[in-house]
Amino acid sequence: MTEPSSFVAMRLTGRRFEDGGMPVEALPELAAYRDLVLSVARELYLRQNRARQRVPRGFADSFELRLREINKGSAVPVLERVIGDGALLPSSTDRYFDDARDMVQNAILSVAGSGRLPESFPARTLPEFSRFGRTLKAGEFIELSSPVNPRPARYSAAVRRILIKSKRTNYIQESVLDGVISEINSGGPSFQLAMRGRPGTITCTFEPELFASVRTYLRAPDEEGVPVRVEGFVSFDPSDRPIAVPHVLGIATPDADEDDGAEAPTIDVVSTASGPITAALQRLSEIESLEAGWLDGEGDEVSAEALRFLRGLLTQMPASTVGDLRFFPTETGAIKVEWQRYSTEFSLDVNGDGTVVYDEIDLHTGSETERDLTFDDVDDIRVLVVGA
């Protein structure tokens, strides 16, 4: 393995970081930053290689960042990039990751300074900002600097919100909503939540294991219903209004009335989803928020049928397998799922017409196996993904 080189320094400032070290709850920021840069690099490659439909094999795996040290001065994790001696990709692709890093840093500088996102920034990667900076609290910042651009870009919760809402798209945020369950929908595992202080209801999608709890709190006809607290990934419109809960993490009931001046109530969480499945479902929700034209003015709206199929598939798979999957929208409105095991790359193209294309490539021999499936073959597809 070649000598690692410094890729980026992330200085975290705020009260939590003043005593040295790095709080464990802030560690996900490192992985979220890596995914953000990878997403931008992927778009830069496709933008500059229009004849290609996908990035080269091993593109994502060639981008390896490692935390080598945490420098003094608040928490300053330094991420180094490592390139293996047997790298599958030529060094000519390295520049896309460096350019993506610089583009992210410049986008933050621009938004923090003028409130505007540079026109050259790939719009379809904006949902990635919903994961980067999620742990930041009021008065906390992440300052990004690199060897080629030492000028720090100061990333805050306010800058993150502007980036997420750029191009007037919806965004996903882990949040809590209070209301009453007014109806259980027959078309799938979802219910309608009547929220306090606003007309109408919003749709909340949950995992089957929560059905008994949802039914328990369902409002009976002509009754006010039991107030519940729904925790999950909430989809907000650009005006910060909640419009849906694509994935419910849990349902809770307050033990006390918060309006009587008492301390915050103890919450009895009924159930939560496992981490990798939660992250995968959130990624699908981010893809769902993309509007037609998301690919530099092109790109169809992502198929609702493909999203529904994948959400159902994920809830039937072990979390250890789901953690290896990567999800990307395609220009035709399908969703591509990619993963790698040892020297073999796998992918699924999930289309809105109910067809699924399974592809398997041996990176050593170059041999390729393809199989045509449909949504009705969900059991076979699950075996292919879990057992591949």
pLDDT at 271: 38
Residues 77-89, mean pLDDT to the nearest whole number: 64
- pLDDT tier, 269 (very low <50, low <70, confident <90, very high otherwise): very low
Choice between 319 and 72, residue whose per-residue pLDDT is larger? 319
pLDDT exceeds cutoff 50 at 259: no
Helix pair 304-314, 378-387: axis angle to 10 deg = 60
Residue 262 vs residue 382, higher pLDDT = 382
Q: What is the mean pLDDT of residues 252-266?
A: 50
Q: Which residue has the tokens 């989809």?
A: 235
| Mean pLDDT, residues 340-367 taken together | 86
Which one is predicted more confidently, 2 or 250? 250
Look at residue 372 in the predicted model and tell me its pLDDT: 92
What is the rounded distance in angstroms from the CA atom of residue 298 to the CA atom of residue 284?
A: 20
For the cut 50, the answer to whether the pLDDT of residue 202 exceeds it is yes
Q: 99 pLDDT exceeds 90?
A: yes
Q: Can you tell me the mean pLDDT for 8-25?
A: 81
More confident residue, 283 or 201: 201
> What does the pLDDT read at residue 203?
92
Using the Cα atoms of residue 226, residue 229, residue 232 and residue 234 in order, give the sign of their dihedral.
positive
Helix, strand counts (H, E) of the chain? 8, 16
- Residue 169's pLDDT band, with cuts at 50, 70 and 90, is low
Residue 314: per-residue pLDDT: 81
In this predicted structure, the answer to whether residue 377 has a pLDDT above a threshold of 80 is yes
CA dist 387 and 55 (Å) reads 25
Q: Which amino acid is at 142?
A: I
Considering only CA atoms, which of 337, 333, 313 is closest in space to residue 325? 337
Domain boundaries, the chain: 5-168, 172-273, 281-387
User: Considering the chain, what is the average pLDDT of its residues?
Assistant: 80
pLDDT tens-digit profile of 283-323? 887 888 787 877 767 778 888 889 888 888 887 777 777 77
Indicate whether 376 pLDDT > 80: yes
Alpha carbon distance 381, 138 (integer Å): 44
The pLDDT of residue 191: 92
Query: Sorting pLDDT into bands at 50, 70 and 90, what band is 89?
Result: very low
What is the pLDDT, as a whole number, of residue 23?
81
Name the most confidently modeled range: 38-42, 81-85, 154-158. 38-42
Top CATH class of 172-273 equals mainly beta
Q: Does the structure show a pLDDT above 50 at 273?
A: no
Q: Which of 210, 159, 160 is nearest to 184 (CA)?
A: 210
What is the mean pLDDT of the segment spanning 328-352?
A: 87
**pLDDT confidence bin for 355, thresholds 50/70/90:** very high
Q: Give pLDDT, residue 254.
A: 66
**pLDDT over 80 at 227, yes or no:** yes
The answer to whether residue 71 scores a pLDDT higher than 80 is no
Which neighbouring-strand residues pair with 202? 193
Q: Cβ(12)–Cβ(73) under 8 Å? A: no
Q: Is the pLDDT of residue 324 over 80?
A: no
pLDDT of residue 95 exceeding 50, the answer is: yes
Sequential DSSP letters for 92-134: GGHHHHHHHHHHHHHHHHHHHHHS---TTS-GGGGGGGGTTTT
- If you ran DSSP here, which 8-state letter would residue 136 be given? -
- Cβ contacts of residue 249 below 8 Å, gap of 6+? 174, 231, 232, 233, 272, 273, 278
203 Cβ contact partners less than 8 Å away, ≥ 6 residues apart: 185, 190, 191, 192, 193, 244, 245
Mean pLDDT (whole number) for 96-103: 93
DSSP state of 260: G
Q: For residue 340, name the pLDDT band (cuts at 50, 70, 90).
A: confident
Q: What is residue 260's predicted lDDT score, i.e. its pLDDT?
A: 45
- Residue 3, pLDDT score: 56
pLDDT reported for residue 172: 66
